[in-house]
Chain A
Amino acid sequence: MTDKKTDNSSALNRRNFLKLGAAGAALGAIAIPAKAKETITKKIDEKTAGNFIKTHDEFPHEIRDDYKPHSNQDIMFTAGFWGFHPEDVDVANSGKQFGYKTFMHYEEKKGFDQLSKALNAGGWALHNNVSPLASQAISGSGILKWDQYRKKEGEFLPHHDWVNEHQYEFENKQEATNAIKRAAKLYGADLVGITKRDKRWDYSDFVDPQAIMEGRPEDSVYGWERFPFEPKSVIVVAFEMDYEAIATAPTDVQGAGAGAEYSSMTKTVYQMAVFLKQLGYQAVPCGNDTGLSIPYAIAAGLGEGSRMGNLITYKYGPRVRLAKIYTDFEFVEYDKPIEFGAMEFCKNCMRCADACPNGAITFDKEPSFEPTHENKDRSWYNAKGVKKYYMDARKCFYTWGEFGTDCGSCMASCPYNKPDFWHHRLVDKITAAMPGPVHDFMREMDQLFGYGEVGNLEKIDKFYDPKGRSYNGH
């Protein structure tokens, strides 16, 4: 009897303890070794991601019939730095201001002092040394050259930057895709996608700064006839920028975060080009040049368009730099554009438009085929005819001139820009599953929770703070 009583008491008997043990084991699965946990969480992540990530067979933005490929002359940098659109004196002035302040013009101001400028210069150093004009959308700069050299018999070229006469043949398209993507990852890319070459996203012509510098303006623009082969595929790579560096926007520390990845992407696309050449195929590595990186990245399934005009990736938000490799290799599985709710979220969010120091980003609720900003009548820099949000690059570039760095306030303020933590991935997924009105609430919460603040110089201290970092690996 006593035993029975004990059984009915609230104390745990052996059987209940075993039941609890089973439940506890299931719930305590998170306490299993890290490697196994990583595999399980990855599986869960993939499974849940599948429910929220849609793929498209076609380019996900509507394109008007009168859309024309963008001219290299109509890129803000070529106008600002190389004298195109001379009627727009303000653009040339912004270019001059920016050129004068970048790296060299120290101020007694946190974020723009010698330390920050030095950090910025170091970030950009490799890019500026080996492909200085690729970031200004100039093709064939330095090691990102168009040359498809064929090695002569007996010639010794240790850099291997020549097209192998023997073409490697993959068993199937998937194997080729896997090899190319793995190589891109090995060389330093964080994301990689492959898409068909699409003439809509290629520049219609190219600017030759050499001709301008040599006083031959008639030769300063050339066409695709100089391109060494007919491209079939474009490999698009994305590089994550340092979260803490970008959080310091708009300062030179943010510029260093961007510059470091410009240097990384220069290295990676060059290595990718050599890899493809040694497989026996022709390849041209590109930074911001030769074609529009963002539509190519959308087509290659790396992310969605956004209000600020940048690509928003699923994993890193807008905190990425993009580069690409044009190749005549086409025996691959092409990626499809994806949708995970970012563009939909942009309709209600507008954090980037609030954060932009010069109001370059539109507050329009819906995307449009034409720019709606105050400079719309002289907006040669906008690629019109695609249903998207048009930002005023003129105002944006003016801000660059003001700060002497590439600002980045829009990226830093975006709710999709978060460090890689489980709770942000969870919120992203919940957000993607929710209808529009909830996005307003999510945007407010994001702000209340303390994310996306720009112009806070304390973030520079946080960037340098050794707390939580292990420099000696202990």
Chain B
Amino acid sequence: MIFTGIETLFYLLGIITTLFVMGLLKYNKELKFNALSWALLGTGSFLCIFCIAWSVSSVLEGVPRAASMGLVIFGIPSLLFLLLGRKVALKKK
């Protein structure tokens, strides 16, 4: 094995983060987010990335329960933030 699980995770997190930023900028051009949209979508994106990081790390350390809890504690709020952010952004339009 060349790369450890954690090294691979962080490499992929870099790509995922970049994709999130690109996505936000792309839709901002289209929908012109206001401050609330930015706040909601930014927080949602951060939580979503953190959720992936946490859950994969927990699986790697062999504590699957912590991974499941991570999906609940960070994943669900991230989805709510992203959906709410999307709603606010579309409503404005």
A interface list, Cβ under 8 A from B: 8-10, 12, 16, 20, 23-24, 27-31, 34, 37, 419, 421-423, 445, 448-451, 462, 468, 470, 474
Query: Are A468 and B21 in touch, CB under 8 angstroms?
Result: no
Query: Are A28 and B66 in touch, CB under 8 angstroms?
Result: no
Which listed residue, B25, B30, B63, touches A449 by the CB 8 Å rule?
B63
Residues of A within 8 A of B79 (CB): none
Q: Interface 1/0s, chain B 5-21, versus A by CB < 8 A?
A: 01100110111011001
Residues of B within 8 A of A24 (CB): 14, 17-18, 21-22
Query: Are B14 and A451 in touch, CB under 8 angstroms?
Result: no
Query: Are B13 and A450 in touch, CB under 8 angstroms?
Result: no
Query: Are A474 and B11 in touch, CB under 8 angstroms?
Result: no
Query: Are A450 and B21 in touch, CB under 8 angstroms?
Result: no
What 7 A-B pairs come out closest when comparing CB atoms? A450-B65, A28-B14, A24-B18, A31-B14, A30-B10, A449-B66, A27-B17
| Number of CB contacts from chain A to chain B under 8 A | 72
Q: Which residue of chain B lies nearest to A419 when distances are taken between CB atoms in the complex?
A: B61
Query: Are B11 and A449 in touch, CB under 8 angstroms?
Result: no
Which listed residue, B1, B6, B14, touches A29 by the CB 8 Å rule?
B14
Supposing A451-B66, A462-B62 touch, asked if A31 and B57 sit within 8 A by C-beta, the answer is no
Q: What's the least CB distance linking B30 to chain A, in Å?
A: 4
Q: Which residue of chain B lies nearest to A12 when distances are taken between CB atoms in the complex?
A: B26
Which listed residue, B7, B22, B58, B62, touches A468 by the CB 8 Å rule?
B62
Instruction: Say whether B29 faces chain A, with CB atoms less than 8 Å apart.
Output: yes
Residues of A within 8 A of B3 (CB): 34
B interface list, Cβ under 8 A from A: 1, 3, 6-7, 10-11, 13-15, 17-18, 21-22, 25-27, 29-30, 53-54, 57-58, 60-66, 69-70, 73
Query: Are B21 and A37 in touch, CB under 8 angstroms?
Result: no
Query: Are B69 and A450 in touch, CB under 8 angstroms?
Result: yes
Which listed residue, B6, B26, B66, touches A10 by the CB 8 Å rule?
B26
Query: Are A23 and B65 in touch, CB under 8 angstroms?
Result: no
Q: How far is the CA of A16 from the CA of B7 in the complex (A)?
A: 29
Q: A10-B26, A28-B15 are in contact. List 5 more A-B contacts (CB 8 A).
A: A10-B27, A23-B21, A24-B17, A31-B11, A449-B63
Q: How far is the CA of A12 from the CA of B22 in the complex (A)?
A: 9
Query: Are A423 and B11 in touch, CB under 8 angstroms?
Result: no
Supposing A10-B29, A27-B21 touch, asked if A450 and B1 sit within 8 A by C-beta, the answer is no
Query: Are A28 and B7 in touch, CB under 8 angstroms?
Result: no
Q: What's the least CB distance linking A374 to chain B, in Å?
A: 35
Q: How far is the CA of A451 from the CA of B14 in the complex (A)?
A: 28
Q: How far is the CA of A8 from the CA of B29 in the complex (A)?
A: 8
Query: Are B65 and A449 in touch, CB under 8 angstroms?
Result: yes
Q: What's the least CB distance linking B60 to chain A, in Å?
A: 8
Pairs across A and B, CB under 8 Å, 27 listed: A10-B27, A10-B29, A12-B22, A12-B26, A20-B18, A20-B22, A20-B25, A23-B18, A23-B21, A24-B14, A27-B18, A30-B10, A30-B11, A30-B14, A31-B14, A421-B60, A421-B61, A423-B57, A445-B69, A448-B69, A449-B65, A449-B69, A450-B65, A450-B66, A468-B62, A470-B1, A474-B1
Residues of A within 8 A of B27 (CB): 10
Q: How far is the CA of A51 from the CA of B51 in the complex (A)?
A: 25
Query: Are B25 and A16 in touch, CB under 8 angstroms?
Result: yes
Q: How far is the CA of A29 from the CA of B66 in the complex (A)?
A: 27
Supposing A423-B57, A423-B58, A470-B1 touch, asked if A27 and B14 sit within 8 A by C-beta, the answer is yes
Residue with the highest number of chain A CB atoms closer than 10 Å, among B27, B30, B62: B62
Residues of A within 8 A of B73 (CB): 445
Q: What's the least CB distance linking B1 to chain A, in Å?
A: 7
Residues of B within 8 A of A23 (CB): 18, 21
Q: What's the least CB distance linking A398 to chain B, in Å?
A: 32
Q: Which residue of chain B lies nearest to A474 when distances are taken between CB atoms in the complex?
A: B1
Residues of A within 8 A of B69 (CB): 445, 448-450
Q: What's the least CB distance linking A15 to chain B, in Å?
A: 12
Q: Which residue of chain A lies nearest to B20 when distances are taken between CB atoms in the complex?
A: A27
Q: How far is the CA of A450 from the CA of B67 in the complex (A)?
A: 9
Which listed residue, B1, B53, B65, touches A423 by the CB 8 Å rule?
B53
Q: Which residue of chain B lies nearest to A448 when distances are taken between CB atoms in the complex?
A: B69
Residues of A within 8 A of B62 (CB): 462, 468
Residues of A within 8 A of B66 (CB): 449-451
Q: What's the least CB distance linking A366 to chain B, in Å?
A: 31
Query: Are B10 and A37 in touch, CB under 8 angstroms?
Result: yes
Residues of A within 8 A of B1 (CB): 470, 474
Residues of B within 8 A of A27 (CB): 14, 17-18, 21
Residue with the highest number of chain B CB atoms closer than 10 Å, among A10, A419, A445, A451: A10
Q: Which residue of chain A lies nearest to B64 when distances are taken between CB atoms in the complex?
A: A450
Residues of B within 8 A of A34 (CB): 3, 7
Query: Are A423 and B7 in touch, CB under 8 angstroms?
Result: no
Q: What's the least CB distance linking A244 to chain B, in Å?
A: 8
Q: Which residue of chain A lies nearest to B19 when distances are taken between CB atoms in the complex?
A: A24
Residues of A within 8 A of B54 (CB): 423
